Amino acid sequence: MLNDLPRLAITLGEPAGIGPDIVLTLAQQSIPARLVIFADPEVLLQRASQLGLTIQLHTYCSDKPSILNPHQPGHLYVQSIAVSQPVISGKLNPANAPYVLATLQQAGQSCMDNHFDALVTAPIHKGVINEAGIPFSGHTEFLAEQTGAKTVVMMLAIPGLRIALVTTHLPLSQVSTAITSFRLESIIQTLNIELKNKLGIDTPHILVCGLNPHAGEGGHLGQEEIVTIIPTLNKLRAQGIQLIGPVSADTAFTSSSLAGIDVVLTMYHDQGLPVLKQRGFGKAVNITLGLPIIRTSVDHGTALELAGTGQASSNSLYCAIQMTLEIIMQSRSKR
């Protein structure tokens, strides 16, 4: 039924990047949902002209959230948020960093206010936000603080493989210190619960990577496995969570290791994501678990060199929206 169509809040991301391109390209397709883009309408119109795309914009009235028609190709509803300075494709401007965060803040709040069923985000540029003097480490951390979530888990998924992270956007030199028993326990408990609630996996099987080469080689290549990781996994196994590991990351992604596994938990950002992106870049979906709202994102960055060229693919955004709709349906089935 049309009245049951999910309502999605979509942020445009860094305006000088490919966020506007992929949203505008996606808008030409049929999508069984109600969409609202949180952005400056002029940015969309300017980029549409640059790309040779036809788009008709409609004003979304946040004070009348019930008035929102199903998506029609070539049309977009927009929650208007103004940029500080004109946007030039491919040219970062720190003056527009507050605008980027304002779109994310307003879209996130609208989801918390139950005006939308989920949030889908286009890529941002962390560097230019920090250059503007605003401490910022990523969508995941921003939304965790905004929503008051105690533990959030960054997970990326492609067909046949899901990878979750214990630490996210940290320098490698800080990873070992960040992997505490408390953090690891919280991450695994959240991952286990969210795989059940949002993805409908009744008994999740989680493969856990070690931190060190060969998972520490019995302490000869590091103590983190012996001191922290193994005792924590044993504690959680006693609670009934299905855990395998810690295993050496260099064999964790073989076919035999992945048999029967629902998700691989890696200790840091670049331990597992290169494998996933090599297998399915452009098809992966970033899912934030542990938030009180549903949030997904693309698997790529702002690709400044492609902005306004017509060469940017909207496939990852399309996959993110498809995954979001599946999660919404799964969540509704549990009510």
Q: Binding site, residues?
A: 139-140, 169, 214, 269, 277, 286, 295
Q: For residue 139, is it left (φ>0), alpha (ψ between -120 and 50) or beta?
A: alpha
Start-to-end CA distance of the chain, whole Å, equals: 18
DSSP summary character for residue 285: E
Coil vs helix vs strand at 265: strand
Nearest to residue 288, comparing CAs of 175, 126, 77, 121? 121
Q: Measured between alpha carbons, how far is 293 from 296 in angstroms, rounded to an integer?
A: 10
The annotation places the binding site for substrate at 139-140, 277, 286, 295
Q: Measured between alpha carbons, how far is 159 from 192 in angstroms, rounded to an integer?
A: 19
Q: How many helices (H) and strands (E) does the chain have?
A: 12, 12
If you search the block for the tokens 């921003």, which residue do you land on? Answer: 142
The annotation places the binding site for a divalent metal cation at 169, 214, 269
Q: Measured between alpha carbons, how far is 84 from 98 in angstroms, rounded to an integer?
A: 8
